[in-house]
Every structure is written in structure tokens, then in C-alpha cells.
């Protein structure tokens, strides 16, 4: 490994030629050099006296830099790139990757987590589809701890609520912990019958990451027949999915109690409570919950090792993480859901066959009461049919779920009917959803009218959706204003959407400003869009500079976006223009 030197800045800067890099020395006033008016959210690379580097991200880099200067005596300098918050994860992993590939020495920021799962793998896991199996790989074991904590496990095992806990907690671990078998004990731990709050609210079990209980199950003292699950998740992720006050979550799920927790170890936590193992399994199917739980668990793992390891119950973990299904095992979760569908149709013998198939591969779900409708399974299969392109079958599942009382299914039904081109049926489904309190239905109605070219009706419904907190409708409302020639209103809506976290609105606002002749404003928006990970914004930046005649600024941008045919055509014209070679007629026409 080579020592770091100033070339590390060029290596990182080459990733984003459209983002300005700024330097702050350890003894310089960061607040003055990086004023708040220009934004302080982004990626930083630190250089230390021994030549080592450290890559990090911060929403307020000045505050972070001040803390680092106090804790790191050998810090020499920081280089800073501004990025939108939504692009920070990707930018951090890209910078780490290019520096490692170039041979620079990096100080580990993951406290050993990177040895179990590389940073790029951590980022990929955050957005990967949920799995219902815990994977393979060796597990740790500590015989002395296993023996010491066995009595508490035996007490838990004797509790009549114990059997129903296992499949629900197993699904939680499978869906929300990276590599559960490999990270067990070192990064997360599970305790049987912990002493926490044992007189008022005794716990059955607790899952902890670093110093935070991320899941626990128990009930108030004197109510041993109940099982209440408490799940901690990332607040920001849930707000992105459900809005600032997360009210729609309760409307859609109907069996969850939530509040903002006040943990000093990790601010920004939303606590979710459900009663019963069945509801925990259902909760893990609610949009945003798994992603938010993953974000919190990974953040806590990055802080350091599991601090509750002394109470880790290896005997309990054996039941949660074993057995490992064989590599060629059938899709156990799919088999269980198929069993639920058969039960829904009254085909009980066939349902038992599917349940047995799921159990044979180690999957144990909490079955529905035969007297209750398995509505969630109908919606799940509808979405699977839609993903497979079988839209009529998807619509049939959604209609059955809606007829059984799942009013949220009208939203999926409306989307499916709209995709099938059946705008009248789509409008009816969205209108019913809206009437049942699902405010996304107003957005859907706007989309139907927009599709028909009925812009004023679309605008009215988009406005109503926005009034109910549907921020996605802001972008479509802005597009509607723009098509009606209401450019000031369109620009205002795009800016509101940007403030709400919709980074694609930077691109649309840039196009609008460019059409109005405000190329400086358009350039700024395209830079924001490019920093947020929208590659087409790089092409637009290249075209802006090309049209200005600034070929030196245009060339690296067009090269960076050369996978885009438009950028490739512009780059060809640029190179021919520099060489005084006439451009090919087909390229001229395309550009």
C-alpha cells in the first residue's frame, strides 16, 4: 500500500467532474470557508499526518469536521464535495472503491464491519429484496456463554408464547440483519428473558445491535397471555415512505402503535408496536418498514460491536438461525403464501400440502385463523402477477382483496387498470380508495386525467393529493402546470418537491429554466441532479457548455455520460469540431 498524497483528491474528483471540490485545513475556520448558504451536506475525505485517508459523509460537514478535529490529533486536512442527501451512500461507496483500487491506505470507519461485509455489499444489501431465509455460513460459538445463559433460555422455552415467537423473530432477522449467521454475536445479539424492566414490563426476548435494543417482545406485568413486539426503525426512511407525521401508516396497517423514540445513542428513531407474532410478520410486509429497520441496524453496526454479548443466548439463536435450507430447496416463503391462498379459497387439503412443503425447508409462518380472510396473501400474489406482467390476474387478486374488505387494494387495482389502459375502471378504483381515506387515490385520479390529456382536472386532483401530504404528486402537479404554460407555478412546485426530497425534480426544474433562457439557473439544477445520481443530468450539463462554446468544460462531462447516445453524438461533434473534421450527417441530425 502506498502512502496517501495530494493525488487522492484527483482520483476522487474524477468520479464527479461536475462537482466542485473544496479544501479545509485542520486549523482553518470551516464555518467561514463552507458557508451554510451554499450547503453543507456531502462527502468528505480526510488526510492524516501518517498519510492515511478516511472517507465519510455528513449532512452538516462543519459540525462533523469540528468534532473530528477534537478527536483526531493527527488530522491534516479535509476535502469536501457537495451532494444531495439521497446520493450520499452511493457517493461514499464509490469514493472508497476508487481509493482502495488506487492503493491508498484507508482508516476503517466501520469498526470491523467491513471485514464481514464490504462497503459496496452493505450498500447493495440496504436496497436488496427482503429474504425469508438467514443464509449460510459458519456461526460463532462460545461454550462458556452458551452454558451460562442456558437457564434463562429454558425459562423462555417453557413459556406458552414461545412457539409463536420463533417464526416472527426469524423473519425479522432474515429481513433486517446483514448476513445474520456471520454477524451474530459480533454485531448483534439476542437475549432470552433479560432482566430489563422485569417488574413493570418483563421481556421475553431482546435483539440488540451495538447499545440499542432494535426489537424486543414482552407484555405488561400481570398480562402473561399477551405478546407485544416493539420494533425500532429509522425515522427518516419511514417519513420518506409515509410522510412527515407517518399518520397514513396507521391508516394502511391498522394494527400498529407508533411514536418517536428519544434515544441518545441514536437520534431519529421511530418505535413501532404490534401485538402478536402474526402482526409482526404482517408489519414486515408494510412498505418502508424493512428498509427503515435495515438502515437503523446497519448504522448501529457501524458504530461498533454488540455490547450485550455477555447475555447472548446461543441456544435461542440455534432455533432462530437453524436449520439452513439446502441450496436446491423450493421457495419456502412462496409455498407458505400459496398455502394461505388455498386456505382463502377453502381448499384446506391443498393448503396443508403447501404448508408442509414450506415447513420441510425450515420455513415456519404464523398461519391465519381459519375464520379470518387471508387478504394480505391476495395482495401479495397480485403484486407478483403484476411483476410477471400478468396484469389481468393481478387485477383479479386486487378485486378479491378489495371485496374482502382491504380498501388499500383499490390503489393497486387503480394502478393496474391504468397500466392496462382501462382509464375509466382505474378512475373508479382510485376514487373509491380516496373515499376510504387512502389519499394516494387523489394522486391516482390526477394521473388518470393527465393520461387523458385533461390537464385542468388533473391539476385539481393533484392539488388535493398535495393538500393531504402526498409529496410525489408535487412533481406531477408541476409537470401539469408546465404543460398548461403556467411556468411560475411549475417552478414553485418543482422547488417544493426538491425540498421534500424528490431529487428528480432538479432535472425537471433545470429543463424548465433552460426553456425560459435562464441557463445559469439550469446549470445549477443539473449539477444538483447529477450529484443526486441522475446520469441524464450530466448530458444536459455537457450540452449547456457545448452550446456556450466552452468545449474544455463540455468534454469531460460528455465523456462521463458517453453511454447516453445523445452524449456520444455531442462528444463526436465536439471532437470533430476540434479537429476541423465535418461531423457525419446522421450524427448531426441526431444531435
Query: How many CB atoms neighbour CB 134 within 10 A?
Result: 25
pLDDT above 70 (res 443): yes
Left if phi > 0, otherwise alpha if psi is -120 to 50, otherwise beta: which for 522? alpha
Question: pLDDT tens digits, residue range 251-285?
Answer: 777 678 888 998 877 889 999 998 888 788 888 88
pLDDT of 370 reads: 42
Question: pLDDT tens digits, residue range 209-222?
Answer: 988 999 999 988 88
The percentage of residues in the chain with a pLDDT greater than 70, rounded to a whole number, is: 88
Output 73 or 430, whichever has higher pLDDT.
430
pTM: 0.45
pLDDT-derived band of residue 372, with 50, 70 and 90 as boundaries? Answer: very low
pLDDT of 351 reads: 78
Q: Annotate 354-380 with b (16+ C-beta within 10 A) or e (fewer).
A: bbebbeebbbbbbebeeeebbbbbbbb
Rounded Cα distance, 472 and 440, in Å: 9
pLDDT above 80 (res 480): yes
pLDDT of 448 reads: 93
Q: Which of 287, 316, 257, 293 is nearest to 438 (CA)?
A: 287
Output 332 or 392, whichever has higher pLDDT.
392
pLDDT above 80 (res 422): yes
Sign for the CA dihedral angle at 584, 585, 590, 591 comes to positive
Q: How large is the average pLDDT for residues 111-127?
A: 76
The percentage of residues in the chain with a pLDDT greater than 90, rounded to a whole number, is: 27
Q: How large is the average pLDDT for residues 359-384?
A: 61
Amino acid at each position: 500500500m502506498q502512502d496517501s498524497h495530494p493525488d487522492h483528491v484527483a482520483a476522487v474528483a474524477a468520479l464527479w467532474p461536475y462537482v466542485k471540490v473544496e479544501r479545509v485545513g485542520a486549523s482553518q475556520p470551516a464555518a467561514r470557508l463552507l458557508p451554510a448558504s451554499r450547503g453543507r451536506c456531502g462527502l468528505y475525505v480526510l488526510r492524516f499526518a501518517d498519510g492515511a485517508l478516511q472517507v465519510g459523509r455528513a449532512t452538516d460537514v462543519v459540525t462533523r469536521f469540528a468534532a473530528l478535529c477534537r478527536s483526531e490529533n493527527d488530522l491534516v486536512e479535509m476535502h469536501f464535495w457537495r451532494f444531495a442527501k439521497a446520493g450520499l451512500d452511493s457517493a461514499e461507496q464509490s469514493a472508497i472503491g476508487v481509493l482502495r483500487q488506487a492503493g491508498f491506505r484507508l482508516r476503517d470507519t466501520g469498526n470491523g464491519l467491513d471485514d464481514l461485509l464490504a462497503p459496496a455489499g452493505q450498500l447493495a444489501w440496504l436496497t436488496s429484496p427482503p429474504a425469508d431465509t438467514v443464509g449460510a455460513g459458519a456461526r460463532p460459538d462460545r461454550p462458556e456463554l452458551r452454558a451460562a445463559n442456558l437457564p434463562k433460555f429454558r425459562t423462555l422455552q417453557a413459556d406458552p408464547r414461545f412457539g409463536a415467537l420463533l417464526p416472527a423473530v426469524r423473519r425479522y432477522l432474515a429481513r433486517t440483519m446483514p448476513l445474520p449467521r456471520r454477524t451474530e454475536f459480533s454485531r448483534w445479539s439476542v437475549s432470552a428473558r433479560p432482566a430489563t424492566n422485569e417488574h413493570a414490563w418483563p421481556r421475553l426476548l431482546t435483539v440488540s445491535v451495538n447499545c440499542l435494543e432494535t426489537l424486543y417482545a414482552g407484555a405488561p406485568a400481570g398480562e402473561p397471555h399477551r405478546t407485544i413486539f416493539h420494533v425500532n426503525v429509522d425515522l427518516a426512511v419511514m417519513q420518506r415512505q409515509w410522510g412527515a407525521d407517518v399518520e397514513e401508516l396507521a391508516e394502511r396497517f391498522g394494527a400498529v402503535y407508533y411514536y418517536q423514540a428519544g434515544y441518545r445513542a441514536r437520534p431519529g428513531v421511530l418505535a413501532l408496536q404490534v401485538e402478536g407474532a402474526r402482526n409482526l410478520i404482517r408489519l414486515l410486509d408494510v412498505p418502508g418498514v424493512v428498509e427503515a429497520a435495515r438502515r437503523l441496524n446497519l448504522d448501529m453496526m457501524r458504530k461498533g460491536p454488540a455490547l450485550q454479548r455477555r447475555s447472548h443466548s446461543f441456544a435461542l439463536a440455534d432455533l432462530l438461525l437453524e436449520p439452513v435450507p439446502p441450496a436446491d430447496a423450493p421457495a419456502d416463503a412462496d409455498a407458505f403464501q400459496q398455502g394461505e391462498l388455498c386456505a382463502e379459497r377453502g381448499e384446506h387439503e391443498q393448503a396443508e400440502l403447501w404448508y408442509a412443503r414450506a415447513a420441510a425447508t425450515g420455513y415456519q409462518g404464523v398461519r391465519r385463523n381459519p375464520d379470518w380472510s387471508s387478504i394480505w396473501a391476495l395482495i401479495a400474489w397480485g403484486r407478483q402477477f403484476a411483476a410477471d406482467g400478468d396484469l389481468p390476474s393481478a387485477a383479479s387478486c386486487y378485486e378479491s382483496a378489495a371485496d374482502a374488505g382491504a380498501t388499500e387494494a383499490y390503489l393497486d387495482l387503480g394502478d393496474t387498470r391504468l397500466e392496462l389502459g382501462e382509464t375509466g375502471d382505474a378512475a373508479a378504483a382510485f376514487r373509491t380508495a380516496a373515499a376510504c381515506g387512502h389519499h394516494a387515490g387523489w394522486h391516482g385520479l390526477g394521473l388518470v386525467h393527465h393520461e387523458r390529456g385533461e390537464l385542468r382536472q388533473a391539476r385539481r386532483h393533484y392539488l388535493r393529493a398535495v393538500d393531504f401530504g402526498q409529496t410525489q404528486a408535487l412533481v406531477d402537479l408541476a409537470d401539469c402546470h408546465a404543460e398548461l404554460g403556467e411556468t411560475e407555478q411549475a417552478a414553485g412546485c418543482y422547488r417544493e418537491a426538491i425540498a421534500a426530497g424528490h431529487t428528480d425534480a432538479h432535472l425537471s426544474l433545470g429543463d424548465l429554466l433552460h426553456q425560459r433562457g435562464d441557463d445559469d439557473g439550469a446549470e445549477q439544477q443539473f449539477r444538483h441532479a447529477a450529484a443526486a445520481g441522475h446520469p441524464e443530468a450530466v448530458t444536459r450539463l455537457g450540452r449547456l457548455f457545448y452550446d456556450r462554446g466552452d468545449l474544455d468544460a463540455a468534454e469531460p462531462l460528455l465523456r462521463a455520460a458517453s453511454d447516453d447516445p445523445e452524449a456520444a453524438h455531442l462528444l463526436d461533434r465536439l471532437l470533430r469540431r476540434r479537429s476541423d473534421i465535418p461531423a457525419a450527417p446522421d450524427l448531426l441530425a441526431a444531435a
